[in-house]
Structure 1
């Protein structure tokens, strides 16, 4: 195919749409499936089972779908699944899942992934996120939609990061980061809420006010998480226009397993 550079090595058992472009010296192994419109740069290695959606841009020198860096891994046919319209910059490493979880590492749609980002085994990343250079996720990390990770953010295994949250450069996360919250530091602490980001995404003044009140409930009143949830239930009743916004926070707090950043 004219879209495949003659120096690229494509296994006959790989499945590439006829519109996929593959750069020089890239290796695509058996078990890799790539949908229409995706481009893969030079000197990449793609291993399977890996499924890559439509219109992704994978830049040079990436390792996509390699075996998980887990000593318990014994060659099981686990997966990496990448959605549509993602930009993956240079030197990123995305590993497949393990049978200690559901066997799938997943990246959603419309994500902007900068250079040297690592997605370890069994990570679940939503859509419309931004990972700045050298953001590093250990195994089993979950990241919600619209989250932004600053450069050199490091996330401990099993940590959950809520939707619309944000970390500063060099943040180290050992506990869950609730939705909407901005965190910074080593070890990371909550600093504010992502007001400007919510404005840009079309949140109404009522919804943003509800987030502001939730931030105060969690971080300014000395309440336990259980007490904060009760306060938020009252907020939900008094601000029906922000019911879904408050519910997103309550659901996150209810399912947090490592405690939350305070």
Structure 2
């Protein structure tokens, strides 16, 4: 056994750990788990299921990773959990594997900051660079885009989508999709503008932020139908070609949303 594995840890036969992986006291790693270099598994963590974990992740003590879905339809199928690189996963986080009713794989991207007591249910697809604050509860099949921030204590309904660069205030109840760039909060969640400060920090220009604000006004403040609003945003793109790239995620999201948009 590697010197990086505490003698009280249990590593099942078949588990594949890079020699650099650090495993703390009383951690349990099951047979179908693969962990790449530089990752730390804290004390009392359990990593289960068909789980693949990338490089330089840090699992704090008592997290439970790769458990079977909390779905009564689950019949023991060999579904998966895939976690990328450079993620921080704090105390008592639970992340479940997927189900055959969806893609069969729960996925976590890279460079995510997942705080204590977060639950990520089966088949969720989490992008990269997200912040998911303490006690967020994500039901099954939720998609979260890159750079999104979900405030502490938020509960999100199954199948919703949370767009890239959006920000949700704490204790929100999310029942419908949240488009990219949008800022909001509440029970139920209500939009309140765009995440201007976050966009500035990520290098969006003043012109790009102004274009996103205009799209937000068209959708939320002009009392247009969704179809009328999207047509007006497309016209705005044609009149301002340099905004096409930054507005396209907004348009694409509205054309493919699954549970309706909270307006």
Give your verdict on TM over 0.5: yes
**Match of 2:113?**
112
Displacement of 1:55: 0.2
**In structure 2, C-alpha distance between the alignment counterparts of 1:6 and 1:227, rounded to whole Å:** 64
**Match of 1:40?**
41
Match of 2:216, SS state, is helix
Tell whether the 8 Å contact from 1:61 to 1:91 is kept in structure 2 after alignment: yes
Displacement of 1:22: 0.4
Displacement of 1:194: 0.3
Displacement of 1:206: 1.3
Tell whether the 8 Å contact from 1:96 to 1:120 is kept in structure 2 after alignment: yes
Give the 5 Å matches for 1:1-150.
Answer: 1-150=2-151
Tell whether the 8 Å contact from 1:206 to 1:241 is kept in structure 2 after alignment: no
Match of 2:191, SS state, is strand
**In structure 2, C-alpha distance between the alignment counterparts of 1:238 and 1:114, rounded to whole Å:** 43
**In structure 2, C-alpha distance between the alignment counterparts of 1:241 and 1:203, rounded to whole Å:** 13
Tell whether the 8 Å contact from 1:37 to 1:54 is kept in structure 2 after alignment: yes
**Match of 2:259?**
258
Displacement of 1:120: 0.2
**In structure 1, C-alpha distance between the alignment counterparts of 2:247 and 2:240, rounded to whole Å:** 9
Tell whether the 8 Å contact from 1:128 to 1:145 is kept in structure 2 after alignment: yes
Displacement of 1:216: 0.4
Displacement of 1:64: 0.1
User: Deviation per CA, 1:177-223, whole angstroms, max 9, x where unpaired?
Assistant: 00000111000000111000000000011110110001101111011
Displacement of 1:245: 1.1
Displacement of 1:58: 0.5
**Match of 2:195?**
194
Query: Normalized against structure 2, the TM-score is what?
Result: 0.99
- Residue 207 (1) aligns with residue 208 (2): yes
**In structure 1, C-alpha distance between the alignment counterparts of 2:128 and 2:72, rounded to whole Å:** 30
Displacement of 1:226: 1.2
RMSD: 0.6
**In structure 2, C-alpha distance between the alignment counterparts of 1:207 and 1:192, rounded to whole Å:** 15
**In structure 1, C-alpha distance between the alignment counterparts of 2:68 and 2:8, rounded to whole Å:** 24
**In structure 1, C-alpha distance between the alignment counterparts of 2:228 and 2:8, rounded to whole Å:** 62
Match of 1:244, SS state, is helix
Structure 2: runs of 5 or more not aligned: none
Displacement of 1:241: 1.5
After TM superposition, which residue ranges in structure 1, 4 or more long, deviate above 3 angstroms? none
Tell whether the 8 Å contact from 1:5 to 1:24 is kept in structure 2 after alignment: yes
Match of 1:202, SS state, is coil
**In structure 2, C-alpha distance between the alignment counterparts of 1:199 and 1:238, rounded to whole Å:** 24
Structure 1: runs of 5 or more not aligned: none
**In structure 2, C-alpha distance between the alignment counterparts of 1:30 and 1:235, rounded to whole Å:** 55
Give the 5 Å matches for 1:209-228.
Answer: 209-228=210-229
